[in-house]
Amino acid sequence: MRFPCSIHLHFVFVTKYRKKIINAPILDRMHEIFANICIKTNCILVEFSGEQDHVDLLVDYHPDNNISDFTSSLKSASSRIIRKEFKEHIDKFYWKPVFWSSSYYVASSGGAPIEKLKQYIKEQDAPTK
């Protein structure tokens, strides 16, 4: 164990207006972005997947972090990078510099076994390549 507690958080981020904008290359790039942010904040991205209008993350969360700040980092960095690297695709859907809805879902895994959460996230209907 990395630290004296086990905190697993399930995050869900949805695209602005639930637009079906996420394709396979964007999903792959998001995985890299989220994994890098987790490493920088002493967290581990345990599982990641998504569909065309949302992503699910299961994070082994370090207790020194603030959940709100961590969430802001995930959403703002991924939005900025995705809008820059996939500009032509994103511009078909949005005229302003947006990507994510302002809301999000986060919950601790509490009583749910981690393997069940991992399976749920893996079974998302991810865009195909």
pLDDT in tens, 47-90: 999 999 999 999 999 999 999 999 999 999 999 999 999 999 99
Per-residue confidence (pLDDT) for residue 129, from 0 to 100: 65
Q: Is 99 exposed, middle or buried (0-12, 13-18, 19+ CB in 10 A)?
A: buried
Helix, strand or coil, per DSSP, at residue 46: strand
The continuous run of DSSP H or E covering 76 comes out as: helix 67-85
Percent of the chain with pLDDT over 90: 77
CATH number at residue 29: 3.30.70.1290
Is residue 23 predicted with pLDDT exceeding 50? yes
**Residue 129 falls within a domain, yes or no?**
no
pLDDT, residue 124, reads 78
On whether residue 2 sits in a domain, the answer given is: no
In a domain, 3, yes or no: no
Which amino acid makes up residue 50? G
| pLDDT of amino acid 113 | 73
Q: Count structural domains, the chain.
A: 1
| Span 91-118, average pLDDT | 87
Q: What is the pLDDT of residues 34-49, one digit of tens each?
A: 999 999 999 999 999 9
Say if 112 falls within a structural domain. Answer: yes
Q: Is residue 74 part of a domain?
A: yes
Q: Give the residue with greater pLDDT, 51 vs 5.
A: 51
Quick one: pLDDT band at residue 1, thresholds 50, 70, 90? very low
Give a yes or no: residue 127 inside a domain.
Answer: no
The candidate with the shortest Cα–Cα distance to 72, out of 22, 106, 28, is: 106
Domain coverage including residue 59:
8-122
Please give the pLDDT value at position 112.
Answer: 62
- Is there a contact between 48 and 121 (Cβ–Cβ < 8 Å)? yes
